[in-house]
Chains A and B, each alone.
Chain A
Amino acid sequence: MYPFSYTRVSDLRTAVQAGSDGGRYIAGGTTLVDLMRETVERPGKLVDISALPLREVTATKGGGLRIGALMRMAEVAAHPTVRALYAVISQALELSASAQLRNMATIGGNIMQRTRCTYFRDVTASCNRREPGTGCAAREGFNRTHAILGTSEQCVATHPSDVAVAFAALEATVHLLGPAGERTVAFSDFLLRPDNTPQREQSIRQGELITAVEVPAQPRPLRSGYVKVRDRQSYEFALTSAAVALHVRGGVIQVAKVAAGGVGTVPWKLSAVEQRLIGQRPSEALWTQAAEVAADGAQPLAHNNFKVELLKRTVERQLRVVGGTR
């Protein structure tokens, strides 16, 4: 680990100032410290933001949710308002990592976390995301866990977060505070596909920090849930996952929010699936038919071809679990 200076900040203004001066924010630290130890990350100055007043969950008008960026994963998962309004967020969090890590990691840090691609984490391997222009070792290497959607010649790494999949499905917004003041970014614009600049992972500017993630209100009742498919039963990143939220009224699906994880370079919003659901009556056949388009556009690699089929089945499974009919 490279040496670094350390400062602790307790108010937002000081934090933003320190961040603008080249400081690197640290919240839960579970990704950053790990990657610093691997020398993937080499910040010269850490700004500890854990004391900032960003630790509230509030219900917004109409049944939305605003989650403070420094809320720990465990706190959000257990929060009664979250559980009541968005089971999918709770479930995605509780299926993440381990109880210990969920006690440490924050919501802001979770969506900022970096890929688990082992070539990215191994500083002796070539990786465009870590060192632009060095090539992508994963593309022709071992890529069983890698992305099939949103990939580029430059990078095929997945975004590892679970809760980000729920946020993507629910069309959340990210609240940012920076030297130029506050702004909000749609979740779908916040996490960036690699394209030709895989080193740029988020649309966040120097000195900006995440203050909250806001989930817009949805018509009620809303049934939602998250499924995570992995080799072992727990404590593993997803091979595939799906976040689903449905609002059914008069026997017809009025609102469908669906996204997938483990398959994309960013959490993968499944608009085509949503389109096939809206206006339809829940049925086994509908789930199958909607999930059929989940992997459209997939570009599998040598070892992850199975994810194409697995993704469809994962989405189908979760539509059935959330939508019922059996």
Chain B
Amino acid sequence: MSTDPPAAEPSALSRRTFVATTVAVGGAVAAGDLVVGPSAFGAEPSTAAETGPSTRVSLVVNGRRLTVVVDNRTSLLDLLREHLGLTGSKKGCNAGACGACTVLVDGRRVNSCLTLAVRLEGAEVTTIEGLAKGERLHPLQQAFIDQDAFQCGFCTPGQIMSGVGCLKEGRTGSAEEIREWMSGNLCRCGCYVKIVRAVEQAARWK
């Protein structure tokens, strides 16, 4: 038995650090822009654009303006996960039936698996990674911890983004209303009663 814990493997975190750095520095592109296209970032030249008809799209993700060249078939979910290193949004069904991929587009909660990235010209996207203000968690993130509103944690980013949408929509008048308006997010661990409490907690905080 070695004394040291096993060496950490490169994680999504390191990739995200890289993205943040690139954006902050500005790189070779115009102020704050990040071009994601053939070999623009990541270790490999394999990107969205080389295997099918593609389109250049400019959008804002978590407050950062990006210009990306995407395969027309690429979903917003796959753009986030496979090309931007934002793996917080999850693929549970890829068919709009589980809600694990929920993000905000122009302030509205949507299923990113059914959203073609090519259609997002000018859109503002917020994912779970963009919710906290630095180290300060969004009140709903904190409420999820406080209420133990998750177990495995896989549906959690989608639940939280959906909950943020639910709060914005003002559908938090009663537990019953929250239950109905949070029903687009499956939780197989069965944390629903606590998810409702977490949304209630965040609604009170507002």
**What is the bound-complex CA distance between A3 and B71, given in angstroms?**
9
| A104 located at the interface, meaning its Cβ lies under 8 Å from any Cβ of chain B in the complex | yes
Question: Would you give the shortest CB distance from B31 to chain A, in whole angstroms?
Answer: 26
| A306 located at the interface, meaning its Cβ lies under 8 Å from any Cβ of chain B in the complex | no
Determine if B184 and A100 form an interchain contact, defined as CB atoms under 8 angstroms apart: yes
How many interface contacts (CB-CB < 8 Å) are there between A and B?
89
Please provide the chain A residues from 39 to 53 with a CB less than 8 Å away from any CB of chain B in the complex: 46, 48, 50
Contacts of B148 in A (CB 8 A): none
Determine if B94 and A99 form an interchain contact, defined as CB atoms under 8 angstroms apart: no
Determine if B183 and A4 form an interchain contact, defined as CB atoms under 8 angstroms apart: no
| B55 located at the interface, meaning its Cβ lies under 8 Å from any Cβ of chain A in the complex | yes
Determine if B119 and A4 form an interchain contact, defined as CB atoms under 8 angstroms apart: no
Contacts of A74 in B (CB 8 A): 108
Determine if B181 and A99 form an interchain contact, defined as CB atoms under 8 angstroms apart: yes
Interface size class of B (residues with CB under 8 A): 20 to 34
| A97 located at the interface, meaning its Cβ lies under 8 Å from any Cβ of chain B in the complex | yes
**What is the bound-complex CA distance between A6 and B95, given in angstroms?**
21
A34 touches which one: B55, B95, B118 (CB < 8 A)?
B95
**What is the bound-complex CA distance between A81 and B184, given in angstroms?**
26
A30 touches which one: B75, B102, B114 (CB < 8 A)?
B114
User: Is chain A's interface secondary structure helix, strand, loop, or mixed overall?
Assistant: mixed
Determine if A98 and B114 form an interchain contact, defined as CB atoms under 8 angstroms apart: no
Determine if B180 and A103 form an interchain contact, defined as CB atoms under 8 angstroms apart: no
Closest to B73 in A: A1
**What is the bound-complex CA distance between A100 and B182, given in angstroms?**
9
Closest to B171 in A: A99
Determine if B108 and A103 form an interchain contact, defined as CB atoms under 8 angstroms apart: yes
Determine if A101 and B111 form an interchain contact, defined as CB atoms under 8 angstroms apart: yes
Determine if A234 and B183 form an interchain contact, defined as CB atoms under 8 angstroms apart: yes
Please provide the chain A residues from 4 to 56 with a CB less than 8 Å away from any CB of chain B in the complex: 4-6, 8, 26, 29-30, 33-34, 36-37, 46, 48, 50
Given contacts A5-B53, A101-B184, 7 further A-B contacts (CB under 8 A): A1-B73, A3-B52, A3-B53, A29-B115, A46-B72, A99-B181, A235-B184
